[in-house]
A and B are shown apart, each in its own frame.
Chain A
Amino acid sequence: MKFGIVVFPGSNCDHDAYHVISKQVGQPVDFIWHRDTNLSSYDAVIIPGGFSYGDYLRAGALARFSPVMDSVKKFAASGRFVLGICNGFQILCEAGLLPGALIRNRDLHFICEHIYARVETSDTPYTNEMQTGSVRRLPIAHAEGNYVCDDETLDQLRGDDRIVFRYCDANGNVTTEANPNGSRDNIAGICNAGRNVLGLMPHPERACEDLLGSSDGRDIFRSLAATLALAA
Protein backbone atom coordinates (compact mmCIF):
# COMPACT_ATOMS: atom_id res chain seq x y z
CA MET A 1 0.00 0.00 0.00
CA LYS A 2 1.17 3.50 -0.72
CA PHE A 3 0.05 6.86 0.61
CA GLY A 4 0.35 10.27 -1.04
CA ILE A 5 0.12 13.65 0.65
CA VAL A 6 -0.92 16.56 -1.52
CA VAL A 7 1.09 19.75 -0.97
CA PHE A 8 -0.44 23.09 -1.94
CA PRO A 9 1.30 26.42 -1.51
CA GLY A 10 0.39 27.16 2.12
CA SER A 11 -0.12 23.57 3.31
CA ASN A 12 1.53 23.23 6.71
CA CYS A 13 0.44 19.89 8.14
CA ASP A 14 1.89 17.89 5.25
CA HIS A 15 5.00 16.90 7.22
CA ASP A 16 2.93 15.87 10.25
CA ALA A 17 0.89 13.54 8.04
CA TYR A 18 4.04 12.23 6.36
CA HIS A 19 5.58 11.52 9.77
CA VAL A 20 2.52 9.60 10.95
CA ILE A 21 2.27 7.45 7.83
CA SER A 22 5.98 6.68 7.69
CA LYS A 23 6.70 6.30 11.41
CA GLN A 24 3.40 5.34 13.08
CA VAL A 25 1.67 3.41 10.31
CA GLY A 26 4.98 2.28 8.84
CA GLN A 27 3.97 2.50 5.18
CA PRO A 28 5.54 4.09 2.11
CA VAL A 29 4.45 7.67 1.50
CA ASP A 30 5.23 10.47 -0.97
CA PHE A 31 4.55 14.16 -1.12
CA ILE A 32 2.50 15.11 -4.21
CA TRP A 33 3.02 18.67 -5.44
CA HIS A 34 -0.29 20.29 -6.38
CA ARG A 35 0.77 20.59 -10.02
CA ASP A 36 1.31 16.84 -10.33
CA THR A 37 -1.59 14.91 -11.80
CA ASN A 38 -0.49 11.28 -11.77
CA LEU A 39 -1.94 9.48 -8.75
CA SER A 40 -1.79 6.00 -10.27
CA SER A 41 0.74 4.62 -7.79
CA TYR A 42 -1.28 5.54 -4.68
CA ASP A 43 -3.95 3.71 -2.72
CA ALA A 44 -4.82 6.61 -0.45
CA VAL A 45 -4.34 10.36 -0.71
CA ILE A 46 -4.32 12.78 2.20
CA ILE A 47 -5.27 16.44 1.70
CA PRO A 48 -3.52 17.98 4.71
CA GLY A 49 -4.23 20.98 6.86
CA GLY A 50 -2.82 24.46 6.48
CA PHE A 51 -3.72 27.62 4.63
CA SER A 52 -3.68 26.67 0.95
CA TYR A 53 -3.36 29.84 -1.13
CA GLY A 54 -3.44 31.84 2.09
CA ASP A 55 -7.17 31.05 2.52
CA TYR A 56 -7.76 33.82 -0.04
CA LEU A 57 -11.39 34.28 -1.14
CA ARG A 58 -12.68 31.39 1.03
CA ALA A 59 -10.80 28.65 2.85
CA GLY A 60 -10.11 25.93 0.27
CA ALA A 61 -11.68 27.85 -2.61
CA LEU A 62 -8.57 28.39 -4.73
CA ALA A 63 -6.93 25.03 -4.03
CA ARG A 64 -9.81 23.34 -5.77
CA PHE A 65 -8.52 24.73 -9.09
CA SER A 66 -5.03 23.23 -8.68
CA PRO A 67 -4.22 20.67 -11.40
CA VAL A 68 -4.02 17.82 -8.89
CA MET A 69 -7.67 18.21 -7.89
CA ASP A 70 -9.09 16.80 -11.15
CA SER A 71 -6.98 13.72 -10.49
CA VAL A 72 -8.16 13.59 -6.88
CA LYS A 73 -11.78 13.65 -8.11
CA LYS A 74 -11.13 10.75 -10.48
CA PHE A 75 -9.18 8.95 -7.75
CA ALA A 76 -12.16 9.27 -5.39
CA ALA A 77 -14.63 8.26 -8.12
CA SER A 78 -12.63 5.06 -8.65
CA GLY A 79 -13.28 4.14 -5.02
CA ARG A 80 -9.80 4.83 -3.70
CA PHE A 81 -9.34 6.67 -0.42
CA VAL A 82 -9.18 10.42 0.12
CA LEU A 83 -8.77 11.86 3.61
CA GLY A 84 -9.12 15.62 4.07
CA ILE A 85 -7.97 17.09 7.36
CA CYS A 86 -8.93 20.65 8.40
CA ASN A 87 -8.04 22.75 5.35
CA GLY A 88 -8.24 19.46 3.45
CA PHE A 89 -11.88 19.10 4.58
CA GLN A 90 -12.57 22.67 3.43
CA ILE A 91 -10.99 21.91 0.04
CA LEU A 92 -13.04 18.69 -0.39
CA CYS A 93 -16.24 20.65 0.33
CA GLU A 94 -15.29 23.43 -2.09
CA ALA A 95 -14.45 20.80 -4.72
CA GLY A 96 -17.85 19.16 -4.29
CA LEU A 97 -16.41 15.85 -3.09
CA LEU A 98 -18.23 16.33 0.21
CA PRO A 99 -21.50 18.23 0.76
CA GLY A 100 -21.89 21.42 2.74
CA ALA A 101 -19.46 24.22 3.55
CA LEU A 102 -17.25 25.41 6.40
CA ILE A 103 -17.76 29.01 7.42
CA ARG A 104 -16.33 31.34 10.06
CA ASN A 105 -16.51 30.00 13.61
CA ARG A 106 -19.60 31.08 15.55
CA ASP A 107 -17.54 33.21 17.96
CA LEU A 108 -15.13 34.50 15.28
CA HIS A 109 -11.99 33.27 17.04
CA PHE A 110 -9.29 31.07 15.63
CA ILE A 111 -9.60 28.10 17.98
CA CYS A 112 -6.50 26.09 18.84
CA GLU A 113 -7.26 23.55 21.56
CA HIS A 114 -7.98 19.92 22.26
CA ILE A 115 -11.63 18.94 21.94
CA TYR A 116 -13.56 15.70 22.29
CA ALA A 117 -15.09 14.02 19.28
CA ARG A 118 -17.40 11.02 19.34
CA VAL A 119 -17.06 8.30 16.74
CA GLU A 120 -20.56 8.19 15.23
CA THR A 121 -20.02 5.15 13.05
CA SER A 122 -17.40 2.44 12.84
CA ASP A 123 -18.72 1.61 9.38
CA THR A 124 -16.11 3.53 7.40
CA PRO A 125 -12.62 2.61 6.19
CA TYR A 126 -11.30 5.28 8.58
CA THR A 127 -13.07 4.19 11.77
CA ASN A 128 -13.40 0.41 11.54
CA GLU A 129 -10.78 -0.08 14.26
CA MET A 130 -12.83 2.08 16.65
CA GLN A 131 -16.02 1.55 18.61
CA THR A 132 -19.09 3.53 17.59
CA GLY A 133 -19.77 5.92 20.47
CA SER A 134 -16.18 6.00 21.68
CA VAL A 135 -14.72 9.40 22.54
CA ARG A 136 -11.46 10.75 21.10
CA ARG A 137 -9.45 13.70 22.38
CA LEU A 138 -8.10 15.54 19.35
CA PRO A 139 -6.69 18.99 18.60
CA ILE A 140 -8.47 21.53 16.44
CA ALA A 141 -6.84 24.63 14.93
CA HIS A 142 -9.11 26.62 12.67
CA ALA A 143 -11.07 29.84 12.14
CA GLU A 144 -13.46 28.38 9.55
CA GLY A 145 -14.70 25.09 10.95
CA ASN A 146 -18.36 25.91 11.35
CA TYR A 147 -20.08 23.25 9.25
CA VAL A 148 -23.22 24.33 7.43
CA CYS A 149 -25.56 22.47 5.10
CA ASP A 150 -29.23 22.61 4.16
CA ASP A 151 -31.91 20.47 5.83
CA GLU A 152 -32.05 18.01 2.96
CA THR A 153 -28.29 17.37 3.11
CA LEU A 154 -28.41 16.93 6.88
CA ASP A 155 -31.24 14.39 6.56
CA GLN A 156 -29.24 12.53 3.95
CA LEU A 157 -26.06 12.54 6.07
CA ARG A 158 -28.01 11.23 9.06
CA GLY A 159 -30.03 8.71 7.09
CA ASP A 160 -27.00 7.26 5.33
CA ASP A 161 -24.89 7.14 8.52
CA ARG A 162 -22.38 9.54 7.00
CA ILE A 163 -21.76 11.73 10.04
CA VAL A 164 -18.49 10.18 11.22
CA PHE A 165 -17.44 12.48 14.09
CA ARG A 166 -19.41 14.88 16.29
CA TYR A 167 -18.10 17.29 18.90
CA CYS A 168 -18.97 16.11 22.40
CA ASP A 169 -17.90 16.49 26.03
CA ALA A 170 -15.45 14.17 27.80
CA ASN A 171 -18.28 11.74 28.54
CA GLY A 172 -19.50 11.57 24.97
CA ASN A 173 -22.52 13.85 25.37
CA VAL A 174 -23.15 15.86 22.22
CA THR A 175 -24.11 19.28 23.61
CA THR A 176 -24.15 22.90 22.48
CA GLU A 177 -21.49 23.67 25.11
CA ALA A 178 -19.20 21.03 23.63
CA ASN A 179 -19.57 22.49 20.13
CA PRO A 180 -16.47 24.68 19.68
CA ASN A 181 -17.36 26.44 16.43
CA GLY A 182 -21.13 26.35 15.94
CA SER A 183 -21.14 23.45 13.47
CA ARG A 184 -24.57 22.23 12.50
CA ASP A 185 -25.54 19.15 14.51
CA ASN A 186 -22.06 19.29 16.16
CA ILE A 187 -20.59 17.83 12.97
CA ALA A 188 -16.80 17.44 13.08
CA GLY A 189 -16.41 15.01 10.19
CA ILE A 190 -18.44 13.43 7.38
CA CYS A 191 -17.90 10.95 4.58
CA ASN A 192 -19.23 10.74 1.02
CA ALA A 193 -21.90 8.30 -0.15
CA GLY A 194 -19.23 5.79 -1.19
CA ARG A 195 -17.63 6.11 2.29
CA ASN A 196 -14.15 6.32 0.72
CA VAL A 197 -13.82 10.10 1.15
CA LEU A 198 -13.61 11.48 4.69
CA GLY A 199 -13.27 15.10 5.77
CA LEU A 200 -12.81 16.21 9.36
CA MET A 201 -11.80 19.41 11.11
CA PRO A 202 -9.85 17.86 14.04
CA HIS A 203 -6.22 16.93 13.41
CA PRO A 204 -5.70 13.20 14.05
CA GLU A 205 -2.18 13.45 12.62
CA ARG A 206 -1.24 15.75 15.52
CA ALA A 207 -2.51 13.21 18.03
CA CYS A 208 -0.62 10.01 17.30
CA GLU A 209 1.95 10.04 20.09
CA ASP A 210 1.49 10.30 23.84
CA LEU A 211 4.32 12.80 23.89
CA LEU A 212 2.05 15.20 21.98
CA GLY A 213 -0.71 15.01 24.57
CA SER A 214 -2.93 12.45 22.87
CA SER A 215 -2.56 9.40 20.69
CA ASP A 216 -6.31 9.21 20.01
CA GLY A 217 -5.88 10.03 16.33
CA ARG A 218 -3.75 7.03 15.53
CA ASP A 219 -6.67 4.63 15.08
CA ILE A 220 -7.94 6.61 12.07
CA PHE A 221 -4.71 5.86 10.21
CA ARG A 222 -4.63 2.31 11.59
CA SER A 223 -8.17 1.73 10.35
CA LEU A 224 -7.29 2.96 6.90
CA ALA A 225 -4.12 0.86 6.82
CA ALA A 226 -6.11 -2.21 7.91
CA THR A 227 -8.67 -1.54 5.15
CA LEU A 228 -5.90 -1.25 2.57
CA ALA A 229 -4.20 -4.41 3.85
CA LEU A 230 -7.45 -6.33 3.45
CA ALA A 231 -7.94 -4.99 -0.07
CA ALA A 232 -4.39 -5.89 -1.12
Chain B
Amino acid sequence: MKAKVYVSLKPGILDPQGKAIKHSVELLGFGGIADVRQGKYFEIALDDANEQQARESVARIAREVLSNPIIEDYRVEIEA
Protein backbone atom coordinates (compact mmCIF):
# COMPACT_ATOMS: atom_id res chain seq x y z
CA MET B 1 0.00 0.00 0.00
CA LYS B 2 1.27 3.45 -0.87
CA ALA B 3 0.32 6.83 0.53
CA LYS B 4 0.81 10.08 -1.32
CA VAL B 5 0.92 13.29 0.67
CA TYR B 6 0.72 16.72 -0.91
CA VAL B 7 1.76 19.69 1.22
CA SER B 8 0.99 23.17 -0.05
CA LEU B 9 1.30 26.66 1.37
CA LYS B 10 -1.94 28.08 2.70
CA PRO B 11 -3.56 30.77 0.56
CA GLY B 12 -2.14 34.14 1.52
CA ILE B 13 1.25 32.81 2.64
CA LEU B 14 3.92 34.42 0.49
CA ASP B 15 5.72 31.94 -1.79
CA PRO B 16 8.89 33.65 -3.05
CA GLN B 17 10.07 30.40 -4.67
CA GLY B 18 6.82 30.11 -6.62
CA LYS B 19 7.26 33.72 -7.77
CA ALA B 20 10.81 33.00 -8.98
CA ILE B 21 9.59 29.90 -10.85
CA LYS B 22 6.77 31.88 -12.46
CA HIS B 23 9.32 34.43 -13.65
CA SER B 24 11.47 31.69 -15.21
CA VAL B 25 8.46 30.13 -16.90
CA GLU B 26 7.66 33.52 -18.41
CA LEU B 27 11.27 33.88 -19.60
CA LEU B 28 10.80 30.55 -21.38
CA GLY B 29 8.13 32.29 -23.42
CA PHE B 30 4.93 31.17 -21.73
CA GLY B 31 2.37 33.91 -21.25
CA GLY B 32 -0.87 33.72 -19.35
CA ILE B 33 0.63 32.24 -16.18
CA ALA B 34 -1.43 33.77 -13.40
CA ASP B 35 0.48 32.25 -10.48
CA VAL B 36 2.81 29.41 -9.46
CA ARG B 37 2.77 27.95 -5.96
CA GLN B 38 5.46 25.49 -4.91
CA GLY B 39 4.62 22.60 -2.61
CA LYS B 40 6.01 19.27 -1.43
CA TYR B 41 5.09 15.72 -2.40
CA PHE B 42 5.79 12.61 -0.33
CA GLU B 43 5.40 8.91 -1.13
CA ILE B 44 5.12 6.65 1.88
CA ALA B 45 5.23 2.86 1.47
CA LEU B 46 3.12 1.13 4.11
CA ASP B 47 3.08 -2.44 5.39
CA ASP B 48 -0.38 -1.81 6.77
CA ALA B 49 -3.07 -3.59 4.75
CA ASN B 50 -6.05 -1.87 6.38
CA GLU B 51 -6.86 1.20 4.31
CA GLN B 52 -8.76 3.06 7.02
CA GLN B 53 -5.95 2.56 9.51
CA ALA B 54 -3.37 3.61 6.91
CA ARG B 55 -5.34 6.74 6.15
CA GLU B 56 -5.47 7.70 9.83
CA SER B 57 -1.78 7.01 10.37
CA VAL B 58 -0.70 8.97 7.32
CA ALA B 59 -3.00 11.89 8.20
CA ARG B 60 -1.28 12.10 11.58
CA ILE B 61 2.17 11.92 9.96
CA ALA B 62 1.15 14.66 7.52
CA ARG B 63 -0.29 16.85 10.28
CA GLU B 64 2.50 16.44 12.82
CA VAL B 65 5.63 16.04 10.71
CA LEU B 66 5.26 16.73 7.00
CA SER B 67 3.34 19.99 7.29
CA ASN B 68 3.41 22.99 9.56
CA PRO B 69 -0.28 23.79 10.13
CA ILE B 70 0.50 27.48 10.65
CA ILE B 71 1.60 27.92 7.06
CA GLU B 72 0.67 24.74 5.18
CA ASP B 73 -2.26 22.48 4.22
CA TYR B 74 -1.98 18.80 3.34
CA ARG B 75 -3.90 16.23 1.33
CA VAL B 76 -3.55 12.46 1.63
CA GLU B 77 -4.23 9.85 -1.07
CA ILE B 78 -4.03 6.11 -0.41
CA GLU B 79 -3.24 3.67 -3.23
CA ALA B 80 -3.89 -0.01 -2.76
Contacts and interface: CB of A to CB of B under 8 A. Distances in A.
Nearest to A58: B68
A134 to B, nearest CB: 30
Contacts of B70: 93, 99-101, 148-150
A146 B17 CA distance: 13
Interface residues of A, number: 20
A148 B66 contact: no
A106 B14 contact: yes
Given A101-B71, A148-B71, A107 B66 contact: no
B34 interface: no
B20 A57 contact: no
Contacts of B20: 108
A163 B3 CA distance: 41
Contact of B17 (A58, A65, A104, A150): A104
Nearest to B18: A104
10 contacts: A65-B65, A94-B68, A103-B13, A104-B17, A105-B16, A106-B14, A108-B20, A146-B14, A149-B70, A150-B70
Interface of A: 57-58, 61, 65, 93-94, 99-101, 103-108, 146, 148-150, 182
